[in-house]
Structures are given as C-alpha cells and as structure tokens.
Amino acid sequence: MKRRIAIICGGDSSEYAVSMRSGEGLFSFFDKEKYDVRIVELRHGRWMVHLADERAEIDLNDFSYSHLGEKCGFDYAYITVHGSPGENGIMQGYFDLIGMPYSTGSVLVEALTFDKFALNNHLRAFGISVADSVLVRKGEPRAADEEIIARIGLPCFVKPAADGSSYGVSKVKTAAQLPAAIDFAFKESDEVMIEQFLCGTEISQGVFRNGRDIIVLPATEVVTGNEFFDYDAKYNGQVEEITPARIAPDTANQAAAMTRKIYELLHCNGIIRIDYIITKDARGNDKINLLEVNTTPGMTATSFIPQQVRAAKLDIKDVLTAVVENSFK
C-alpha cells in the first residue's frame, strides 16, 4: 500500500498565506504513484484535511480522520508551516508524542534554528562567521539607543528574533529610526535583534540528506533593488534570482562546505535552506557570513529550493521521495 503523507500547512502567524502556497507546491511535486498525499490545514487551533468533496477534522489523539465511515490515518508528516508552531519545535514535539515521523529536525533543532540570536551565538562557537547583534526583550530594560548604535553601527537591521519571510524587519539608517523599528519588530516577536549591517552579495543554498549522503544544491544569488530582501522581494517579484550564483569557484566550494558543516553540526533533517552574505575581509578575500537557517523553506514552483534542484539536474519528486524514505530506513 502507498504511504499516506500529510502536508501540513497554514498556521496563525503572519506567514499563513506563504505556508499555504508551499503546501500547494509540495502537493504538486510529490510522486502520486508512490504516495497518497493530503493537505492538512492548521488554522485557529483546528486541523482540517482537504478532501475532494469536503474538509474533515483531524483527531489529534492519533492524527486520524473519518471519511465515508472509514477511519484514516497517516504514515508521515511533511511540515511546511512557516513560523510557529511548525518551525519552533512545538509541532515536532506533538508528532514525537504520537510516534509519527516528520520532515524536519528534532524539537531541539527547530527551537534553536527558529531563534536567530541563539542560533548565531551557538554556531559562532564552531567558527561560523555571523554579524554582531544585540538582543532586546519586550517589557525588559535595554541598553540606551546610543550604546546599541555605538556597538552595532549604522545602518543596521532590526528584526524579530523568531520569525520569517522578513515580517517586522527594518533597515535603520539613523538613530532616530531605531525606537520605531524595535516597536515594529515587537509586533512579530517578544524578542528583537539589532544586527550589524553587512554589505555584500547575498546567496541562499539548499541542502538535504539522501540516505547517508548530504546533498548540497547549487546556491542562488539574490539581487534586489529594495533596501534588503524583504517580503515584496521574496514574494512579489521585486528580485532577480540567479542559480547558480555568480561567485568565484573557490567561494562556491567554501559555501557548500559551510552548508554541509552546519547541516551536520545541527543534526538537521529533510530539506533546509541556509542564507549567507559574502563580504570582503581586510585582504580583499571573500568572507562567507551566515544570515539564517530556514528549516521549512518555501516550496512553491518558483521558490529557491525547486530552482536549485533543477539547476542540479535533479527531480524534485525524487528529492521528496528521498526525504520521506530516510525516516523508514
């Protein structure tokens, strides 16, 4: 019998619409001859499986549903809920409790990668270059704006410590803009990062595991006329995406090695995407700096990962099959 796959999307974060588009993309990519695939939408605390003729509510006791008088279950959860609870370990904890294999890393991995400030400081200890940053928490005293700017410099980025799709992110150019930018980021997260601005070439690189092999995909270069790679650049076409990236071969090899290292260090699972910015060091050599690790990357037809899979001359259907079958070996 075919394995039954639940593509879980939706959620209540600002990334709901993006997640639904990823769910639809994944549904179109999966091998329907090998898998029985269903979209499960999470919204306002309800989990609803999309069927041809109706929506059926999921019984969270065992992640099953009833259809035409029959109880139906799933064998595997492909998580593409961007933001909470799909990217921060909450959903992973639930599936661990009921014994359902899933597509992402463990509870610890997801919680760590969702918190940008904690992740950066963790990976810095392993020699990964990251921008300097300061963390502020809602309702707690923080350093004076002048002290923050003296350390981080201008311009700088203010961003939610736990969020995605560039929601709540501001590029701050003057000291007077900092308080409003922090308040804007607090709308998305109770913790906010003020991060040093790095000027350079932005790239994004996908990676996944196929059995014992870690497969690093060609990097995508991100070129936008916007102030940064914001929501409009990501989802409204205000960007040029070049795959493979126009970077020196040695730099491409270094980025691929760093991507593999981070995947192994974090004990990741499934397909992840790592974003970098390439700057120049004091000698004029390329320096690769980590921006963030995305463990549930966008999966529409035009998203980075499908682009990179095509550039690697792979079939996205086969990549997804490898990701699923890794859990059953």
pLDDT recorded at residue 107: 98
pLDDT recorded at residue 233: 47
Question: Cα–Cα distance between 97 and 91 in angstroms, integer?
Answer: 10
pLDDT recorded at residue 166: 62
Question: Cα–Cα distance between 98 and 92 in angstroms, integer?
Answer: 10
pLDDT recorded at residue 167: 77
Residue of 313, 109, 79 lying closest to 217 (CA atoms) = 313
Over its length of 329 residues, how does the chain's per-residue pLDDT go in tens digits? 899 999 999 999 888 999 999 999 999 999 999 999 999 999 999 999 999 889 999 999 999 999 988 999 999 999 999 989 999 999 999 999 999 999 999 999 999 999 999 999 999 999 999 999 999 999 999 999 999 999 999 999 999 988 654 678 999 999 999 999 999 999 988 999 999 999 999 999 999 999 999 999 999 999 976 565 444 445 555 578 999 999 999 999 999 999 999 999 999 999 999 999 999 999 999 999 999 999 999 999 889 999 999 999 999 999 999 999 999 98
pLDDT recorded at residue 194: 97
Question: Cα–Cα distance between 208 and 5 in angstroms, integer?
Answer: 19
Question: Cα–Cα distance between 122 and 204 in angstroms, integer?
Answer: 20
Residue of 291, 282, 269 lying closest to 120 (CA atoms) = 291
pLDDT recorded at residue 238: 59
Question: Cα–Cα distance between 163 and 26 in angstroms, integer?
Answer: 22
Q: Output the six-digit token pair for 260.
A: 């593999």
pLDDT recorded at residue 227: 61
pLDDT recorded at residue 282: 93
Continuous H helices in the chain = 16-29, 90-98, 107-114, 116-124, 145-152, 178-186, 231-235, 249-265, 304-311, 316-325
pLDDT recorded at residue 164: 54
